[in-house]
Amino acid sequence: MAVHKDWLPTNRETILAMARDWQSAAASQKAAWGVPDVILANLHVFTNDAETALAAAQNESTRTPVATARCKEAFDALTAFMRDMKRRYFLTPPLLDSDYVSLGLKPHDSTPTVSGAPTAQAAVETYLTGRHELGVKIVYVTGSAADPANKGCRIWYRVVAPGETPPANPDELHKSFYTRRKKDVIEFAYGDSGKTAWFAVQIENGGRQGPWGPIVSALIP
């Protein structure tokens, strides 16, 4: 998975601490924020799974290549769920600055931006770069990268094994990363070779996202 600096911590212990803060804050404010019980339950499961996997990967008696891979998978699942949870429940309701601080997030900037909200659409073209990797190229369908509203884009994706049901629309893509590059590379897990990666892009500017681009797929080498 490509690593890009954004609101999500890169340290695994810090990610776990943030996830626990989310559990506490969202549980106490679930009525005001509209967070369903099933979302809180799933966050609890993903957090516990990641915590258990990290302990196994760090313990000398249980640290094996399998435990290390399992830890990466658990944190990929947790962070993907947290990104989706933030997108669905923390951007829409009128959270206060103190609410965002309780979640470990930066409060919204109330200063108007002259660049405006993105309206352009972009697509992904994939190309081979190496084993277990896919290069992704951003191609604008409408609008232009020169528009100041189009700061960068968030590439959403999902890996589907043979025989599994592919995503019907971009809302079913749960992993993502933000980039300002015209080209980038996604590194997949060793076991993803031979599976299919599905992609869709949203132009993003200061947390504001434009319309979905077309959903496309590529075979992971």
Mean pLDDT of the 92-102 span = 79
Q: Would you give the DSSP letter of residue 162?
A: T
Are 204 and 210 spatial neighbours (Cβ–Cβ below 8 Å)? yes
Top CATH class, 121-219: mainly beta
Transcribe 103-147 into DSSP letters: TT-PPPP-S--TT-----EEEEEEEEEETTEEEEEEEEEES-TTS
Dist. CA 142–CA 160, nearest whole Å: 28
Q: For position 150, what pLDDT does the model report? A: 86
In the chain, domain spans: 12-102, 121-219
Are 206 and 151 spatial neighbours (Cβ–Cβ below 8 Å)? yes
The token pair at 61 is: 């008696």
The residue that leads in pLDDT, 171 or 199, is 199
Residue 220's φ and ψ, nearest 5 degrees, are: -80, 125
| pLDDT tens-digit map of 129-183 | 988 899 999 999 998 888 888 888 999 999 999 999 999 999 899 899 889 889 9
